[in-house]
Amino acid sequence: MAKNKEIWDREDFVSGYLDGIRKATPMAEEEIDVMLHLIRLTIRRKVRAFLDLGCGDGSLGRPILKEYPRAKAVFLDFSDTMLNAARKEVSHSNGNVFFVKKDFGKRSWVNSVVDFGKFDVIVTGHAIHHQTDTKKKEIYKDIFDLLAPRGLFLNSEHVAYPSKWLEKAFDEYFIDSLVKYHRANDPKRKRSGIAMEYYSSPGSEADILAPVDTQCRWLRKIGFVEVDCYLKVFALAMFGGIRPKN
């Protein structure tokens, strides 16, 4: 990820990504619905503390905070630009919202959040796939250790394509979603131009994708239970598991 890490601190790139790609990502509303449903089902009481890891503009953490406004909310990202975007989007703070600048690709990130106590929920979105498989497994183990008993981990992620044909199918599906989103604001936008921007985005250069079933197997080996892929459309998947009581 180091080769293009600096682009995530460029305001022009981050703004283009958040406004032009992230908001147009397919199944975004369904993803939030599934996430909140799983949290309600798993955490039978109010969420006391949650962590949005690699938070970006907080697109996953903000809906949790809206549903549980008294929860201790921790938003962590290595990018000042992303953290500033998250700060702007958080609608309220009663002294229970914290923004942490830290690179979770470095082991020291754990020390920056341990003082918040154990988390009932840890979510992450489109972030861990920039890490090597070895680092992914290390991060998943750290997440397991940071969760409270019966704590829930959810990863909304870009996963590996089973085949080149399915990769092409996903690309076309994503471009269709981008066209629909952008033409709502500018009906004259051409699909060819949008597709060119999609394929030339420098953010994808750092992708290290792993199959969702492989990552679920890693989670089970670490000790997570109720592991599954809860939502999937082509290469976009939400998967995770629960830390058992004992």
pLDDT 10s digits, 121-134: 999 999 999 899 99
DSSP 94: S
pLDDT at 225: 98
pLDDT at 2: 42
pLDDT at 8: 58
**CA distances for 100 relative to 77, 128, 181, 194, angstroms:** 7, 17, 31, 34
Query: DSSP E strands: which ranges in 20-146?
Result: 49-53, 72-77, 97-101, 119-125
pLDDT at 25: 82
pLDDT 10s digits, 30-88: 999 999 999 999 998 899 999 999 999 999 999 999 999 999 999 999 998 989 999 99
Closest among 71, 184, 156 to 120, alpha carbons compared: 71
Separation CA 44–CA 16 (nearest Å): 39
pLDDT at 153: 98
pLDDT at 104: 94
Separation CA 224–CA 242 (nearest Å): 5
pLDDT at 1: 42
In this structure, the chain runs to a length of 246
Phi, psi of 53 (to 5 degrees): -90, 125
Long-range pairs of 22-27 with CB within 8 A, sequence gap ≥ 24 = 22/56, 22/57, 22/59, 22/126, 23/181, 24/177, 24/178, 24/180, 24/181, 24/182, 25/174, 25/177, 25/236, 26/173, 26/174, 26/177, 26/233, 26/236, 27/231, 27/233, 27/236
Segments of the chain scoring below 70 in pLDDT: 1-23, 91, 202-205
Using the Cα atoms of residue 206, residue 106, residue 22 and residue 234 in order, give the sign of their dihedral.
positive
